[in-house]
């Protein structure tokens, strides 16, 4: 199997990414398994942060590296939390605190539109001038109270109106078909099947 270091320690992301890439012959190694610390994410765009994370993991491991940067963008909050989704409520970061802050900010707001965004970046080596890049979006709205016990992040608050369920109410396989990360991974998997990393 082709080994790829994953520049993430998020158990939910690790599960979703392994489900997509293991059938293609890729062994996904979380960076924490190799003693690689989390990279700084100082940038204002998802793509710059994903590239920074992939580049650090690639250099440290000497292996191809995959990183994603993703978050939820709420229309009424001018796109926030955006790139700050994971630490929206500050440190220590937790899904519960982030969700509570979002609900507080959305109190009394009638425009509940939001979308998840994900960009995946794969570097074959640290100086790869042509990284594989794939994006995905998932459009929906913010509910007034958490629903469901699955998923992670803002999934209990994010309703897919077409399905009538939140991300936390979807089975993993169903979520992978409709989610931002699922769409980005499907596009990445398609590109990898045509051009495997060296």
Q: Using CB atoms within 10 Å of the CB of residue 13, give its burial: 0 to 12 exposed, 13 to 18 middle, 19+ buried.
A: buried
The domain that contains 61 carries what CATH number? 3.90.950.10
Laid out side by side, the sheet with 132-142 consists of 26-30, 2-6, 65-74, 113-123, 132-142, 158-160, 165-166
Peptide bond before residue 81 is cis, with ω within 30 degrees of 0: yes
> Do 115 and 141 contact (CB within 8 A), yes or no?
no
State what percent of residues in the chain have pLDDT above 90: 72
Closest by CA to 112, choosing from 139, 82, 138, 142, is: 142
What pLDDT band is residue 197 in, cutting at 50, 70 and 90? Answer: very low
Question: How many structural domains compose the chain?
Answer: 1
d(CA 126, CA 72): 28
Q: Which domain holds residue 58?
A: 2-194
pTM value is 0.89
Residue 198: pLDDT band by 50, 70, 90 thresholds?
very low
**Cβ–Cβ < 8 Å for 99, 146:** yes
Q: Tokens in use for 96?
A: 């519960």
Q: What is the pLDDT of residues 92-122, one digit of tens each?
A: 889 999 999 999 999 999 999 999 999 999 9
Please identify which of the residues 33, 68, 69, 91 carries the catalytic annotation: 69
Bridge partners for 160 per DSSP: 165
Respond yes or no: is residue 69 known to be catalytic: yes
Residue 194 has pLDDT above 80, yes or no: no
pLDDT band at 1; cut points 50, 70, 90: low
pLDDT digits (tens, 9 = 90+) for 149-166: 998 899 999 999 999 999
């Amino acid at each position: 199997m082709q080994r790829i270091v994953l520049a993430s320690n998020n158990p939910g992301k690790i599960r979703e990414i392994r489900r997509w890439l293991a059938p293609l012959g890729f062994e996904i190694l979380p960076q924490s398994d190799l003693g690689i610390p989390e990279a700084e994410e100082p940038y204002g765009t998802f793509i710059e942060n994903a590239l920074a994370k992939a580049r650090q993991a690639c250099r440290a491991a000497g292996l191809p590296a995959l990183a994603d940067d993703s978050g939820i963008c709420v229309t009424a909050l001018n796109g926030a939390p955006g790139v700050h989704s994971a630490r929206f409520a500050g440190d220590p970061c937790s899904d519960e605190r982030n969700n509570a802050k979002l609900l507080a900010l959305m109190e009394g707001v009638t425009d509940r539109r939001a979308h998840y965004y994900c960009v995946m970046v794969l570097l074959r080596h640290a100086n790869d001038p042509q990284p594989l890049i794939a994006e995905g979006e998932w459009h929906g709205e913010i509910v007034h109270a958490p629903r469901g016990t699955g998923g992670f992040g803002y999934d209990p608050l994010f309703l897919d109106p077409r399905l009538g369920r939140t991300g936390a109410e979807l089975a993993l396989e169903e979520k992978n078909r409709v989610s931002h990360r699922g769409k980005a991974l499907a596009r990445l998997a398609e590109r990898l099947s045509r051009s495997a990393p060296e």
